[in-house]
Amino acid sequence: MSLRKRFDEQLARLVIGEDAVMQLEGRRVLVVSADFLTAVLRAGEKVVGPAIGGIHYLAGELSGRGFGERARAGAPGARLEDLVVNVMASLELRGLGRVEIADLDATAGTGILRLKRSPYADAFPDRDRPACHSLMGLWGGLLSGVSGREITAEEVFCRAKGDPICEIVASPRTE
């Protein structure tokens, strides 16, 4: 199915009440510009320096774990890899940019997430370090939520530091 068609289907599930609260699949959502998210990172860096990356990682992890646990609870018996792919496909439709998943073993909690147009990498060109902290956390958290294991993720390539794509590698935590 084309991206456009999948997007239209997702859009049809988006509801907004007279109270101006928007929901997708029963959860509140906001349509915000990518600038809003990257501005939070930029402002945080001014206050706590690179440590804002760790804070964003934890936030992404919390969110990703929730996605994973809900996906698993909503489709008992489903193949774990399918759950991961579906969650990422849904996030792709929210404007994350094209994603590609490689070497995924959701039971083991390992897999590679490649992002072609991460909004963080777009916003922070010419950096000496990765920029996609919350997406790192999201990938680790998603695999944690789906696998039931503690998974950590590391961005090994990032367009923000001149790599052609962003690549995030997940593996079980060693401690």
Partner 1 sequence: MTVLAKDYPAFKERLQHILDVAIRNTGTAGIAIARLDGLPIAHRLGGSDDPRLAAVMAASILGAVESVALQLRTGDVSDVLISCNRGKIVALRAGPEAAIIAWCRSETNLGFVLLGLRAAASEIAGVLEGI
Residues making contact with partner 1 (CB under 8 A): 46-55, 57-58, 129, 133, 154, 174-175
Shortest distance, position 155 Cβ to partner 1, whole Å = 10
Cα 40–chain centre separation: 16
Shortest distance, position 166 Cβ to partner 1, whole Å = 15
For partner 1, which is the closer residue by CB, 96 or 153?
153
Shortest distance, position 57 Cβ to partner 1, whole Å = 7
For partner 1, which is the closer residue by CB, 72 or 133?
133
Q: Alpha helix (H) ranges present in the chain?
A: 3-12, 34-48, 52-74, 80-91, 119-123, 133-147
Shortest distance, position 42 Cβ to partner 1, whole Å = 13
Residues 6+ apart with CB under 8 A from 175: none
Shortest distance, position 141 Cβ to partner 1, whole Å = 11
Cα–Cα distance measured from residue 159 to residue 162, given in angstroms and rounded to the nearest whole number: 5
For partner 1, which is the closer residue by CB, 20 or 47?
47
Q: How far is residue 50 from each of residues 46, 167, 171, 173, measured CA to CA in Å?
A: 9, 20, 23, 22
Residues 6+ apart with CB under 8 A from 129: 50, 53, 158, 160, 161
For partner 1, which is the closer residue by CB, 41 or 83?
41
For partner 1, which is the closer residue by CB, 80 or 145?
145
